[in-house]
């Protein structure tokens, strides 16, 4: 019998259970997961938000497929322009493992007000360093650090990145580090 979990990954943790790196915070530090549990996709150490975990390799492969949308809220450096949003919507060139890669068209829009996320364990910065803005970016692929590379490619580096949705599963009512076991994943 396979088991499935929904987790809000906090800032500063890596999406792994074992690593050679010393002094890294791991997913197993948050909860006593069963043997064989794996993260479905990853969020880098500086990223936060929705992370799905399973003991079933088939389920992992289905979720990582291109047809499952992943939505991120990105706090970017500066007041993002309509032009930058349009470029990301059409797809931008990013560097991926030393090669140029064109991202697929995606959904991007400016958030009218900052999302109501808990304070991060490490502060982003304060107003002395200039304004920031928030955008929603929904992709159906998931290349290495893709969203961060996309915002940087249009001149607005990401300061904070939170995954808020995978398929129909939304990050609502979860505190950082919270884990919920579910029967299956409603990906839609």
> CA 172 to CA 174: how far, in whole Å?
6
Q: Is 20 a catalytic residue?
A: no
Catalytic one of 44, 77, 82, 116: 44
Q: How far is CA 11 from CA 14, 61, 137, 144, 149, in A?
A: 9, 25, 19, 17, 19
C-alpha distance across the termini of the chain, in Å: 23
> CA 160 to CA 3: how far, in whole Å?
30
> CA 148 to CA 74: how far, in whole Å?
8
Beta carbons within 10 angstroms of residue 93's beta carbon: 12
Catalytic residues: 44
């Amino acid at each position: 019998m396979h088991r499935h979990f929904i987790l809000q990954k906090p800032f500063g943790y890596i999406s792994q259970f074992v690593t050679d790196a010393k002094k890294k915070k791991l997913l197993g530090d948050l909860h006593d997961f069963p043997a064989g549990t794996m993260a479905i996709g990853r969020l880098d150490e500086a990223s936060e938000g929705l992370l799905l975990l399973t003991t079933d390799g088939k389920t992992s492969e289905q979720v990582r497929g291109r047809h499952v949308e992943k939505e991120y809220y990105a706090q970017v450096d500066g007041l993002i322009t309509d032009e930058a949003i349009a470029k990301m919507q059409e797809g931008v060139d990013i560097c991926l493992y030393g090669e140029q890669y064109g991202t697929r068209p995606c959904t991007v829009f400016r958030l009218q007000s900052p999302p109501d996320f808990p304070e991060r364990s490490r502060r982003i910065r304060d107003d002395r360093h200039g304004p920031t803005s928030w955008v929603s970016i929904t992709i159906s692929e998931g290349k290495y650090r893709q969203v961060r590379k996309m915002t940087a490619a249009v001149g607005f580096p990401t300061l904070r990145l939170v995954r808020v949705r995978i398929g129909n599963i939304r990050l609502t009512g979860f505190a950082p580090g919270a884990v919920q076991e579910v029967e299956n994943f409603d990906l839609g």
